[in-house]
Structure 1
Amino acid sequence: MAMSMTTSFRARILIIDDEKKFALACRTVLEEDGHHVRTCMRGCEGLELLRREDFDVVLLDLRLGDMDGMRILEESKSINHKAYIIIMTAFSTVPNAVKAMKMGAFDYLTKPFTDDQLMLAVARAVEKKKLVEENARLREELVDRYGFSNIVGENPKMLEVFKQIERVAPTDSSVLIYGEHGTGKELVARAIHAHSRRALEKFVAIDGSALSPTLLESELFGHVKGAFTGATQDKAGIFQIASKGTLFLDDIANLNLEIQGKLLRVLESREYKPVGASEFKTTEARVISATNKDLRSLTTQGQFREDLYYRINVFPIFLPPLRERQDDIPRLAYHFLHYFCRKMSKRIEGFTEDALEALVKHPWPGNVRQLKNAVERLVIISDDKPSVDLETLLDALETRRLRTSDGVPSTWAEMKSFKKTVLREHYERVERLFLLRALQDHGGNITKAAQAVGMQRSNFSALMKRYRIPAGTPQHSTV
């Protein structure tokens, strides 16, 4: 009596066998198990069905009257058929069945076989196919979520970044991502992971500057019970948690030299020792590092180990700051605008021309992250307006001014950036409102407005063009 192997998955199965009674017997067993089954007696007919229809499993006899089963197996692969093929063979041709498996067959059954053996082989093939398809679906979701569509940019420098991600993702090589704060280093790391063979495994991120050296060592390598005060039980470290996946180490330049030495050992030997442990553990985690500092310079200053630098710098990727790809700012701004409008159920069509120009000219010291935050605030404060105008934009950017803890820049570069920000956010805003008020007071007459404020008409008109103020209509504004 055959055991019940009924599954909720109704597979499409094709049986290719020139023994009619045998093929029909197999069909009966499989249909009773809930599957949809087709049979054919000739190899050429079976091959034609494979070309025209989709099957989950194929039961293929190696010896057919009109064609060798090996040829069907080979041609099924050339037409990229996704069916799992189970070879059926007599004992004398088992070596051929083994050869067929090397060519891509899933399994083989030696004739004669029992109903249970048949159902078990088919169930294994169906389960394997479901698992592979589910993994493919999950991989597609990961790519959709963390793929290139989330890293907006058509600037040549960003297109090169995309190429580099595609090159390095399928490998297990260490990657070092360089970029200022806010350029999207973690997004790039996630994209590498999503396009890698590890995509279905864990992606774990840790910030090298967020924890003290003691806590960081425990986070990375774990600890055993009693290793230090408060260690009441064993704790797995991130290298164990991400063992088959990807570990993203952000701000790696902030690791102290002791942690750097232990990290080097992990990268070279794949071994590490939890805090307080007496034995080593192993890990297969792929490490992607990131920094906003010049590591090469830090190595010459003795602040970063040179051997670790070479070990993590196998494949460097440089992310350009936003100021070096200004042509991407409109794309990014609209990308974030649509995103936050959907999230907040608001309807804003876009930016006025002068607002978009101001976005492009803004220095964005916080890069893409700062732009994203600014657009989020714009969506919040833009009530009942079809487009974000310049005044609304300037109001939003005022809260994003470059600041230090005591309000005083610490370097000349910061001082110059601060000066530009103040000029843009205050002087230019007031200058535009100054023009609008003069025009309002004089009914839109440019000559009278210029005379009233003590300017030559040509200069007044030039400023109007700079701020894209239309001529001929009285403007209303308030300072």
Structure 2
Amino acid sequence: MIESRILVVDDEPAIASGCKMILSEQGYRVEIEISGREGLKKLLSSPFDLVLLDIQFPHINGIDILKEVKKQRPDLAVIIMTGNGTVNNAVDAMKSGAFDFITKPFSEEQLVCSVTKALESIKLVKENNSLKKQLYDKFDFSNIIGETSEIKKIFEKIERVSPMDSTVLLDGESGTGKELFAKAIHVRSTRASCRFLAVDCSTFSSTVMESELFGHVKGAFTGAETAHEGIFGAACDGTLFLDEVGNLDLDIQGKLLRVLETGEYKPVGSNQIKKSQARVVAATNKNLVQMIKEGTFREDLFYRLNVFPIKIPPLRERRDDVPKIAYHFLRLFCRKAHKKIHGFSDDALSALVNFDWPGNVRQLKNVVERLVIMCDKEQLDHRELMDNLEIKPVALVRDIPLTLEELKRARKDFLEDSFRPVERLFLLRALDDAKGNITQAAKAVGMQRSNFSAMMKKNDIHA
């Protein structure tokens, strides 16, 4: 660290000057101060990287200087210089935050070695903090777009639970960004410098999932030609994100429960018990309480996972966030596509806000990306949006109604789920063609104005 600034504080001018001469030859910028009080003032007012501090001064104790410096400048490295008769004081100094101490008289090699180690330590700490900041910035709340009260409450919960080791259960529909929230928890935790690993519990079969979670030994099953650590082992002291945990079968649920309760697990095919200190953040888009009633999810596992539940609302319940999220993705994909699209027309933005977004943020992201690819204009208008909006396909009725009441309820649900998005888009297109004039829009589609207005109200559309 050629540009490192060092202050030598010692009331013996010969020692102070000698240190300055030796360290200056090493390329450091060195200043000296023979007064303890003046040295303290200089340390608190100037950006030094390291101080060589004598432990005894006529009017102030070196330990008191050290404590004040570490209180106001915790990043400053301190090396204590002590005589043979004050070694005990040097030990006290180490307890108070000194990096090292050297005993007078010390050699040139001892001085240079101690200073080099201290400055290298500072460099490593700064690099580590820089990496943590990069990670923190990457998953900062600014990357989770939203200003509604619901999202702000989630941010507050994350700030509170992140420093703890408590298990967190994120409950939200597919596409709401549960992994982003899990990463935000990780980077705010004491485990931020350790690994964050994610596994989708709906991806693998039961046998493969057990191996993915807990690992296996060589020869545990056909095809197991080498041992596999498993993510509980790989996560070590970090954070393990179990996405769609409701898809685990009952056998693996029992083994997961054991890890959460004792930290112990066995790799597939092994009799050896292993330990894991990984923190678990789980997520689900299923109703686990209902699954417990149906016997497909363990109640004891639910309570072990549900220590700190966080409900993530779907996009349709926070429509005020849609414009900000849409513009975030617009800027992102314009940069990637090297295009200059300034924004959405008013009617296009209104359509975005009023769409139900069954696929949530993920669906909105896909739509904006597709619009950027297809658009050659400076503004995205309503017609282009309508051509690229994904409309939820008609769902098949799984259970045949057994009574007239069930048939009526099924019809109502069918219309609500499948027809409402089409109805909303019908209204928005009519209003777009009529440039927002409700009377003309109603006339163009063959409806009375009062009926058209009532349908708008039902769909929460405002002209």
Question: TM-score when scaled to structure 2?
Answer: 0.89
- The residue aligned with 1:365 is 358
Is 1:322 aligned with 2:315? yes
Task: Say which SS state the counterpart of residue 133 (structure 1) adopts.
Answer: helix
Task: Say which SS state the counterpart of residue 89 (structure 2) adopts.
Answer: helix
Is 1:391 aligned with 2:379? no
Q: How far apart in 2 are the matches of 1:320 and 1:420? A: 20
- The residue aligned with 2:274 is 281
CA drift of 1:56 comes to 1.4
Alignment of 1:13-162 (within 5 A): 13-162=6-155
CA drift of 1:155 comes to 0.5
**Amino acid in structure 2 at the alignment position of 1:224:** V
- The residue aligned with 1:242 is 235
Structure 2 unpaired stretches of 5+: 400-409
CA drift of 1:454 comes to 7.6
- The residue aligned with 2:396 is 408
CA drift of 1:418 comes to 1.3
Structure 1 residues 453 and 20, CA, compared in 2 at 3 Å: closer, same or farther?
A: closer
Q: How far apart in 1 are the matches of 2:323 and 2:158? A: 24
Q: Is the 1:354–1:467 Cα contact (8 Å) retained in structure 2?
A: no
Structure 1 residues 430 and 26, CA, compared in 2 at 3 Å: closer, same or farther?
A: closer
**Amino acid in structure 2 at the alignment position of 1:203:** F
Is 1:302 aligned with 2:295? yes
Q: How far apart in 1 are the matches of 2:200 and 2:171? A: 15
Structure 1 residues 340 and 200, CA, compared in 2 at 3 Å: closer, same or farther?
A: same
How many residue pairs get aligned? The number is 447
CA drift of 1:77 comes to 2.6
Q: How far apart in 1 are the matches of 2:302 and 2:448? A: 61
- The residue aligned with 2:421 is 421
**Amino acid in structure 1 at the alignment position of 2:154:** V
Task: Say which SS state the counterpart of residue 237 (structure 2) adopts.
Answer: coil
- The residue aligned with 1:196 is 189
Q: How far apart in 2 are the matches of 1:451 and 1:373? A: 35
**Amino acid in structure 2 at the alignment position of 1:51:** L
Q: Deviations over 1:87-106 (max 9, x none)?
A: 11123222222222222222
**Amino acid in structure 1 at the alignment position of 2:171:** Y
Structure 1 residues 33 and 458, CA, compared in 2 at 3 Å: closer, same or farther?
A: same
Q: Is the 2:5–2:49 Cα contact (8 Å) retained in structure 1?
A: yes
Is 1:230 aligned with 2:230? no
Q: Is the 1:409–1:415 Cα contact (8 Å) retained in structure 2?
A: no
Structure 1 residues 454 and 280, CA, compared in 2 at 3 Å: closer, same or farther?
A: closer
Structure 1 residues 190 and 414, CA, compared in 2 at 3 Å: closer, same or farther?
A: farther
User: Over aligned residue pairs, what C-alpha RMSD do you find?
Assistant: 2.9
Q: How far apart in 2 are the matches of 1:401 and 1:138? A: 42
CA drift of 1:433 comes to 7.7
CA drift of 1:25 comes to 2.0
**Amino acid in structure 1 at the alignment position of 2:260:** L
Q: Is the 1:323–1:364 Cα contact (8 Å) retained in structure 2?
A: yes
Q: How far apart in 2 are the matches of 1:202 and 1:94? A: 41
Q: Is the 1:13–1:56 Cα contact (8 Å) retained in structure 2?
A: yes
Q: Could you tell which deviates more after superposition, 10-19 or 300-309?
A: 300-309
Q: Deviations over 1:47-66 (max 9, x none)?
A: 12112211111111110133
Question: Among the aligned pairs, what percent are the same residue?
Answer: 51
- The residue aligned with 1:258 is 251
Q: Deviations over 1:309-330 (max 9, x none)?
A: 1211111111011111111111
Q: Is the 2:70–2:76 Cα contact (8 Å) retained in structure 1?
A: no
**Amino acid in structure 1 at the alignment position of 2:193:** L
CA drift of 1:42 comes to 0.8
**Amino acid in structure 2 at the alignment position of 1:422:** V
**Amino acid in structure 2 at the alignment position of 1:348:** I
Q: Deviations over 1:330-387 (max 9, x none)?
A: 1111111111112211111211111111111111111111111111111112212x22
Q: How far apart in 2 are the matches of 1:207 and 1:150? A: 22
Q: Is the 2:80–2:98 Cα contact (8 Å) retained in structure 1?
A: yes
Is 1:172 aligned with 2:165? yes
- The residue aligned with 1:346 is 339
CA drift of 1:414 comes to 5.6
CA drift of 1:239 comes to 1.0
Structure 1 unpaired stretches of 5+: 1-7, 437-443, 470-479
Q: How far apart in 1 are the matches of 2:294 and 2:462? A: 51
CA drift of 1:154 comes to 0.8
Q: Is the 1:63–1:69 Cα contact (8 Å) retained in structure 2?
A: yes
Task: Say which SS state the counterpart of residue 103 (structure 2) adopts.
Answer: strand
- The residue aligned with 2:403 is none
Q: Deviations over 1:85-129 (max 9, x none)?
A: 111112322222222222222222222222222222222211211
Q: How far apart in 1 are the matches of 2:167 and 2:444? A: 67
Alignment of 1:436-455 (within 5 A): none
